[in-house]
Amino acid sequence: MLDTRNPEVKLNRRLDAADLAWAQVQESASDRAKAREIFKSIVWSDATPTPLRRTLADKLLTDDSPEGIADSRTFVSLRLPTEPDRSIVGMMALAAARNGWQDTAPALVRALADPARGIPDAERVEARALQRLFPGQSIERIAFDIFLGNTPGAGPGPAPTGGNDLFAERVRADAWTVLSRLDPDGAARRDLVTNPGLSAAGPASGVLADLRAAADDLRVMPSTGMELEWLSRLRDPSDPLNREWWTRVSSLVSRLSDAQVRGLALRHLEPIRLAAETNSGLLSSSRADLFALLESRLEDRPRNRRTAELDALKGRSPERPEDWASELVWGDLLAILMIDQAVSTSEFAGVMLQQAELDRDDRQTEYGGVVEAVNAPDGSVAQIRAVLFPPRPRDRVGDEQFIASRDMLVYSDRALAHYHLQVQREKNYKFAGPSSGDLRYARLSGRSCVVFTSLGSDRLGVDYYQPNGATIDLGEIRPTE
C-alpha cells in the first residue's frame, strides 16, 4: 500500500502494488475498508497519474461487498460533480445506473452541466444513466425536477440534495445550466417556469419567483447558475438602486418589438438603459440597422487578431462582425455598440493604460474589473468608468489568468461589461483577444466581456466577446497626444 501511494515509485510498480494490496485485503472487511480509504484519497488527487486513478476507481466501483457498494454510492455522489477524467466519469455513471442509486441524480446532473466537447448532451453517459435511473422521463424533465428539489418523476417530495444549503444551490444552478443547453431558445424553460401548476412553496420557490419576474418584466430567461445568482441580486428588495434600475429597464423593454427581444439576456439590459440615456435612436433600430452601423464603425480600424493557442489550420481567430453574423442577435449588436462607445474615449484609454502599468508590475496575476455607467442625480449618465478589482491573494494563480472575485461579481449587477488586461509584455500582439479560459468565463457568467491587450507603450487592443463565443475586434485605444 505504501508503494501504491508513493509518487516516487515508478507507475508500473504502483499499479502492481495496487493489485497485490487489493487482493490481500479481500478476506478482511476491516482491511478492505482501510484500503478503500487509501484508494479514494489517491483517486481524489488530480496529481495522481491517470492510469493509476482509473485502475483504483475501477477497483472501488466494482467492489460488490455490501460495505463497498454503500461506500461507493457516497463516493460517487461526492466526487462525480468535479471529476475531470471522462473515463472515471463513465465508471461512476455506470455504477450508479447498475446499482439503481437514484440519490446520485444531483451529482450526475452536476457532471452533465460541465460541457464535454464534441459529445451531445443526450448521448453522454451521465444522461443515459439518469434515464436508466428514471425510466420514461426525459432529461429535461429530470433536470427540472432536480432544479425544483423534487424526486425526478415523482412530483413534489423530499429534496434529493439533502440538508446542505450550499450544495443544494450548486445542484439547482447546474440543473438550470443543463436545461439551458437542452433548450437554447428558452421556450421550454419559459413554459416550465410560468406553469401555474408548479407549487410556490418548496426549496426552489424563491428562484422560481425570480425567473417568473424576469420573464414577465424583462422578457429574459437566464441560462447559467451564475446568471441565476445575478438575477436574485437584481431582485433583492433591500437594494433600492437595483429596484430602481429594474423599474426603468422593464419600462424600456416593454416597448421593444418581438424581433428585438429575440435572444434577449440579462447582459443586454444595461446597454438598453444606456442607449435610452445617450442615443435613444438605437432602440428603434432594427437588427439589420445595428449590424450595418457596427460594420461601418469598425471598417477602418486597425485589427490585431489573436494567433496564440489556435488550431494551426485556422491561423487566426474570426473577429469581424461578418464572421458571427448568424450568432449576433439585436441585443448583442446593441451591447457591442454601447461598449464600444464607452471604451473608445481618450480619457478611458488613459485610465486603462494606468491600470496596465499596475498589472505589468504585478507578476502574480492579471488585473481586471467592471465597465460601468455612473448616473447623475437626475438618472442621466454622467460618466463611464473602469472599476479595477485586483485579485485577492487566494485568486492569484499566475500572470496569464484573471479570476473575478466574489466582490467584483456582486458589485457588477448593473455593469455594462466585465474586463481584464493582457499586458505581460509591452507588445503582446499574438495574445490580442480572449483565450479559451476567457470564453469559458463568459459562457458560465453570462456576461459581455472585454479584453485589453498591450500593443505598445501607449496603446491597447480592444476585443469584445460573449457567452456563445462570438468575438469582435474593436480596434485600438490610446490617450490624446
pLDDT in tens, 228-238: 999 999 999 89
Residue 200 is predicted with a pLDDT of 53
Q: Give pTM, 2 decimals.
A: 0.84
Least confident of 18-32, 157-171, 177-191, 459-473: 157-171
Residue 30 is predicted with a pLDDT of 95
C-alpha to C-alpha distances, 138 to 96, 101, 110, nearest whole angstrom: 18, 18, 17
Task: For residue 230, give the nearest of 439, 55, 411, 46 by alpha carbon.
Answer: 411
Order of strands across the sheet with 459-465?
381-388, 368-375, 417-422, 449-456, 459-465, 471-477
Take residue 38 and report the three cell numbers written for it. 487509501
The string of pLDDT tens digits covering residues 114-167 is: 888 788 898 999 999 999 999 999 898 899 889 888 777 554 444 444 445 667
* 336 band by pLDDT with thresholds 50, 70 and 90: very high
Q: Is pLDDT at 312 greater than 70 in this prediction?
A: no
Distant-in-sequence, close-in-space partners of 279: CB < 8 Å, separation ≥ 6: 338, 341
What's the number of CA atoms in the CB half-sphere (13 Å) around residue 223? 21
Residue type for position 344: S
φ and ψ of 381, to 5 deg: -85, 120
